[in-house]
Amino acid sequence: MCGIVGYIGLPEKTSQHGALDVLLEGLRRLEYRGYDSAGVATVASGTVSMRKKSGKLANLLSEIEAEPMTEASVGIGHTRWATHGAPNDLNAHPHLADGDKLAVIHNGIIENFAQLKAKLVSTGETFASETDTEVAAKLIAQHFTATGGDLTEAMRLAANQLEGAFTLLAVHADQPDRVVASRRNSPLVVGLGDGENFLGSDVSGFIDFTREAVELEQDQVVTITTDDVAIINFDGSPAEGKRFSVNWDAAAAEKGGFGTFMEKEIHDQPKAVEDTLLGRTDASGRLVLDELRIDPEELKNISKIIVLACGTSAYAGMVAKYAIEHWVRVPVEVELSHEFRYRDPIIDDSTLIVSLSQSGETMDTLMAVRYAKEQGARTLAICNTNGSTIPRESDAVLYTHAGPEIAVASTKAFLAQITASYLLGLYMAQLRGKLFQGEIDDILADLHKIPGKIQEVLDGGEQIRELAREMAQAPSVLFLGRHVGYPVAMEGALKLKEIAYIHAEGFAAGELKHGPIALIDQGQPVFVVVPSPHGRDSLHAKVVSNIQEVRARGAKTITVAEAGDADVVDYSEQVFYVPETQPLLMPLLTTVPLQIFACALAAEKGYDVDQPRNLAKSVTVE
Ligand code: F6R
């Protein structure tokens, strides 16, 4: 939440791209993190210039066009997801202090801001906004004066007074040769250039300019100048960052000819699954998960797995439960991260915590992982973002290779998470001797066929888009599923809620008769995710009965079924067929029509598919 960029470059660099160009390009790429307001501040000729505007980045661009800023080689930029204070111009970042010579931007929540503010007010300070950020700006300003003009030290001293989660970036007119930042529980990466350096909430903030980056640890201050990156801990001791190279380029974060990022990312899914499967076996076909860093002996002795995640990632976790329990015969619990640590869970060193997070920065999940570690559990992250906090703080990581996901609604990361969970399950089954090698080989071979099958579903997308256009006025849509189809139903409902603002619910089909069937009225649209007729017979037959039950009560039934499943035809207004695969692997196919449906319906209603209201990607507040 909130996108942050910082830049400093030598004049020969900034003659190619001025600081403002770099900042605005970074904000364009980071806008998915929040779009309540945007702002920039640059330093030139001993003064700070600032422009900020509520609403999307486009509003800021118009503001700058109307009132151009002077050329500069240093600056900071921010795109906001509001926490403290309404999303208006006044509360937009940057915030100024020290006679408008200091500009500060912030991501996160400063939990002790009220106490700090009261103290500052009692000493005569006045505030222009309702934000917690302005409190940090005032503190940095006070320390700047007290230290005789040392912005790094001022930032460090202020950071030590703050509680909660924050990434802060500051520039000062009296020390224009640097951008200084601090972080606690909130993301920040450094981009390394030649004669220029960058800061970003994530690497997309500077991907147009460099793919070389440095990870920061918790509680650190970083100072970037044109030729140096200096890191210190909050206690003042020197520190080293970990260097890494970004393995995707700027083009991967563009729309690639599609109208929206979401459409593009839905179409990226064959590759996301393929890349996530890539290089996971040795010459003899045995799974080798190199990044795991947990001793195989320890994995053999795990007695329970708890999957922690939120939102779409939690639905991927539910799919993982069905597969891992079936293949590994180890109990798997799935829990929303924000509920987990408040219920006194039973964890010990034979518990494996598997966290699922696209961003690797979701605060609820990070806090739950930290809590589990404190209780002695082993922690493994399944994550899509290299260098992010959750994998860094976990004992092990299994990266998904979906590439950058920009649309707020998650699509390709979901399929990649499911794929990685299957790999983990198969790997544990291999280690613990729960499946024969031939069985593992067969499942892997079927997994490798999935990308081509997803492509088939995508190729038939027009049928779904047509239905979405017809259904644009539906006030409510229900989704039913059983077994692995149940999390798919919930994911279908979530997609529709979050981008089309339609009331939608996903239910376990068997639960219907225990209450929700009362919702069925004449014409109520109900999507049903039908299990394979080749799986457990009873499962398929039961779902067909569920379709009949809702249809008998007037529902308009739309089914997503396996190719050749004739049993659903008589009871479905429309059937979307997906290619045949193993029953446990079906979510990789049955999810896709539901994503296409939500995306097309939101577009039909004229909504901003990539940046739905009230939401932001990367939820870095609890
Ligand atoms: C929904 C969506 C969210 C995220 C959730 C967790 O489309 O994107 O529900 O899945 O906020 O985010 P990550 O996976 O980054 O931890």
pLDDT value of residue 222: 98
Token pair 């089914």 is found at: 559
The CA 493 to ligand 1 mean position distance, Å, reads 14
* Ligand 1 contact via 557 beta carbon (within 6 Å): no
Q: Is 223 in the pocket of ligand 1 (CB under 6 A)?
A: no
> Mean pLDDT score of the chain, rounded to an integer?
95
pLDDT of residue 252: 82
Backbone angles phi, psi at 78, to 5 degrees: -145, 140
Indicate if ligand 1 lies below 6 Å from the C-beta of 400. no
Q: Which atom of ligand 1 is nearest to the CA of 413?
A: 14
CB of 383 closer than 6 angstroms to any ligand 1 atom: no
Q: Which residues pair with 576 in a beta bridge?
A: 560
Residue with CA closest to ligand 1 atom 8: 410
What is the whole-number distance in angstroms between the Cα of residue 580 and the centre of ligand 1? 28
Q: Which amino acid is at 287?
A: L
Ligand 1 near 357 CB (within 6 A): yes
- Ligand 1 atom, smallest distance to 385 CA: 15
How high is the pLDDT of residue 617? 83
For residue 392, the CA-to-ligand 1 centroid distance in Å is 19
Distance 352 CA to ligand 1 centre (A): 22
pLDDT of residue 341: 85
Question: Which one-letter amino acid corresponds to residue 192?
Answer: L
Instruction: Tell me what pLDDT residue 299 has.
Output: 92
> How many CA within 13 A on the CB side of residue 356?
32
Which among 5, 26, 25, 23 is positioned nearest to 73, based on CA atoms?
23
**For residue 578, which phi and psi values (nearest 5 degrees)?**
-120, 155
Which of 81, 313, 355, 498 has most ligand 1 atoms within 8 Å of CB, for mutation?
313
What is the model's pLDDT at position 90? 92
Nearest CA to ligand 1 atom 7: 409
Burial of 230 (0-12, 13-18, 19+ CB in 10 A): middle
The per-residue b/e assignment along 22-55, b for 16 or more CB within 10 angstroms, e otherwise, is bbbbbbbbbbbbbbbbbbbbbbbeeebbbbbbbb
What is the rounded (10 degree) CA torsion for 352, 355, 361, 363? -80
Task: State the amino acid at position 94 in one-letter form.
Answer: P
Give me ligand 1 centre to Cα 381, in Å: 15
Q: What percentage of residues in the chain have a pLDDT greater than 90?
A: 87
- Using CA atoms, how far residue 178 sits from 207, 227, 238, in Å, is 21, 10, 18
* 382 Cα–ligand 1 center, Å: 13
Q: Is the CB of 530 under 6 A from ligand 1?
A: no
Q: List, edge to edge, every strand of the sheet that includes 196-200.
A: 47-54, 37-44, 74-80, 3-9, 196-200, 189-192, 212-215, 242-245
Q: Is the CB of 312 under 6 A from ligand 1?
A: yes
In the sheet with 229-233, reading across from the earlier edge strand, the strands are 95-97, 102-110, 164-172, 175-184, 220-224, 229-233, 238-239
Residue to probe by mutation, ligand 1, list 32, 260, 312, 397, most atoms within 8 Å of CB: 312
Domains of the chain: 3-246 (3.60.20.10), 257-457 (3.40.50.10490), 460-613 (3.40.50.10490)
Measured in Å, residue 617 CA sits from the centre of ligand 1 at 7
Q: Which residue's CA is the nearest one to ligand 1's atom 9?
A: 311
152 Cβ inside 6 Å of ligand 1: no
Q: Which amino acid is at 537?
A: D
CA max distance for the chain = 81
SS3 state of residue 416: helix
Closest ligand 1 atom to 314 CA: 10
The response to whether residue 365 sits with its C-beta less than 6 Å from ligand 1 reads yes
- Of 318, 362, 411, 618, the residue with max ligand 1 atoms within 8 A of its CB, to mutate for a pocket test, comes to 362
Q: Are 102 and 145 in contact (CB under 8 A)?
A: no
Ligand 1 pocket mutation pick from 204, 367, 410, 495 by most atoms within 8 angstroms of CB: 410
How far lies 300's CA from each of 233, 306, 328, 419, 431, in Å? 38, 16, 10, 21, 6
State in Å: Cα 378 to ligand 1 middle: 23
Cβ of 167 closer than 6 Å to ligand 1, yes or no, is no
Question: Would you name the residues annotated as active-site residues?
Answer: 2, 617
CA-nearest residue, atom 5 of ligand 1? 311
Bond into 94 cis (ω within 30): yes
> Does residue 337 have its Cβ closer than 6 Å to ligand 1?
no
**Contact present, 7 and 25 (Cβ < 8 Å):** no
**Does ligand 1 come within 6 angstroms of the Cβ of 313?**
yes
Nearest partner of 433 among 332, 350, 330, 348, judged by Cα: 330
Q: Using an 8 Å Cβ cutoff, are 222 and 216 in contact?
A: yes
Q: Which residue owns the Cα nearest ligand 1 atom 10?
A: 312
Ligand 1 atom at minimum distance from 313 CA: 10
Instruction: Select from 202, 319, 359 the residue to mutate for testing ligand 1; criterion: most ligand atoms less than 8 Å from CB.
Output: 359
Of all protein residues, whose CA lies closest to atom 3 belonging to ligand 1?
A: 311
pLDDT value of residue 384? 94
Q: What is the pLDDT of residue 281?
A: 92
How many CB atoms are located within 10 Å of the residue 96 CB? 18
Distance 414 CA to ligand 1 centre (A): 9
Say yes or no: CB of residue 388 within 6 Å of ligand 1. Answer: no
- Residue 390 and residue 381 in contact, taking contact as beta carbons nearer than 8 Å: yes
Structure tokens at 297: 């002996």
Residues with Cβ < 8 Å from 604, sequence gap 6 or more?
A: 468, 469, 472
Q: What is the DSSP letter of 71?
A: P
CB of 409 within 6 A of ligand 1: the answer is yes
Ligand 1 centroid–CA 267 distance in Å is 19
- Side-chain-side CA neighbours of residue 224 (13 Å): 34
**What is the Å distance from ligand 1's center to 315 Cα?**
10
CA torsion sign for 206, 210, 213, 219 is negative
Order of all β-strands in the sheet with 396-399: 332-336, 304-309, 351-357, 378-383, 396-399
What residues of the chain score a pLDDT lower than 70?
537
**Rounded distance from Cα 313 to ligand 1 centre (Å):** 6
Give pLDDT, residue 481: 98
Cα 474 to chain centroid, rounded = 29
Report yes or no on whether pTM surpasses 0.85.
yes
